[in-house]
Every structure is written in structure tokens, then in C-alpha cells.
């Protein structure tokens, strides 16, 4: 069935949005299986496809990938991904972005003695309107 006119929100739903959303949905599976797949490749592809017109979506994807990688991947790689995400996050005024940053901060706790992770934790704490991290 075809609609004469798509709902207004449909203009935002493209391949990048689909990959980001399905990647996010796969994160609990990845964590439960202790394997970064199948979530990470979807999120990585979303990041590549999300253009400059959607900085908030790209920031969500980068932060989620960093958080997932910190939880079950390589913490030093995750720290680099997280710093990229924070560059974007610092430009946005979004409570949801701040919430995702808090999730990333929580994921860093067990790796806080790694220099790169310590740098990331300091960068997260420096975000405006962000409470102290654990």
C-alpha cells in the first residue's frame, strides 16, 4: 500500500538511520555474547553514512560504538572513538547526548588506570552540564 504523502519524520529515515538504530538494538546481544559483532559493524557503517546535516545522529552512533568497544573490545581503541564522539558532543545541547556520554563514562570505570581512558574520562567530565562521572 502506498501513501500519497509520507509522514514528515520519514525524511530522516535513511540507510544510515536504519543501521544506527539496528546497531543500537543489537548492543544488548553483543554484550550478552561478549562479542562486538553484530552491533559494531552496523554502527560503524552508520557513522560513515551519516553526513554533516545530522551531527546529533552521528554523535549518538560514535558514542554508542565507543561505549560498546569499551565494554567488550579494546579500551584504548574505545578511548579514541570516545574522544571523537566528544568533539561532536561538545557542540550539541542535548540531554540525550549527555545521557549517552554518561553511559560511556560508566563503561570506562574498570579501565580507568589506562592513560588513554583517563584522558577520555577527563574529557567527559569537562562537557558542559555533565555531572561528575563515577
Whether residue 93 has a cis bond before it, omega within 30° of 0:
no
Residue 48 domain-assigned (yes or no)? yes
Q: What secondary structure does DSSP assign to 21-62, as a single string?
A: HHHHHHHHHHHHHT--TTHHHHHHHHHHH--TT-HHHHHHHH
- Distance, CA of 79 to CA of 85 (rounded, Å): 10
Structural domain boundaries enclosing 53: 14-125
Q: pTM of the prediction?
A: 0.89
Instruction: Give 38-52 pLDDT, tens digit per residue.
Output: 899 999 999 999 988
102 to each of 51, 53, 94, how far by Cα in Å? 24, 24, 13
Residue 133 domain-assigned (yes or no)? no
Residue 3 domain-assigned (yes or no)? no
- Domain count within the chain: 1
Residue 132 domain-assigned (yes or no)? no
The CATH number assigned to the domain holding 86 equals 1.25.40.10
Residue 9 domain-assigned (yes or no)? no
For residues 40 and 81, is the Cβ–Cβ distance under 8 A? no
Instruction: Give 88-120 pLDDT, tens digit per residue.
Output: 998 888 889 999 999 999 999 999 999 999 999
Residue 4 domain-assigned (yes or no)? no
Amino acid at each position: 500500500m502506498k501513501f500519497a504523502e509520507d509522514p514528515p519524520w520519514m525524511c530522516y529515515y535513511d540507510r544510515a538511520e536504519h543501521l544506527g538504530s539496528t546497531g543500537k538494538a543489537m548492543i544488548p546481544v553483543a554484550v550478552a555474547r561478549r562479542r562486538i559483532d553484530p552491533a559494531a559493524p552496523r554502527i560503524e557503517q552508520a557513522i560513515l553514512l551519516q553526513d554533516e546535516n545530522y551531527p546529533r545522529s552521528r554523535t549518538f552512533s560514535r558514542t554508542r560504538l565507543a561505549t560498546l568497544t569499551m565494554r567488550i573490545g579494546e579500551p584504548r581503541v574505545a578511548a579514541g572513538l570516545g574522544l571523537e564522539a566528544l568533539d561532536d558532543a561538545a557542540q550539541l545541547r542535548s540531554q540525550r547526548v549527555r545521557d549517552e556520554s554518561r553511559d560511556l563514562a560508566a563503561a570506562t570505570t574498570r579501565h580507568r588506570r589506562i592513560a588513554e581512558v583517563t584522558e577520555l574520562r577527563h574529557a567527559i567530565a569537562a562537557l558542559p552540564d555533565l555531572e561528575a562521572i563515577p
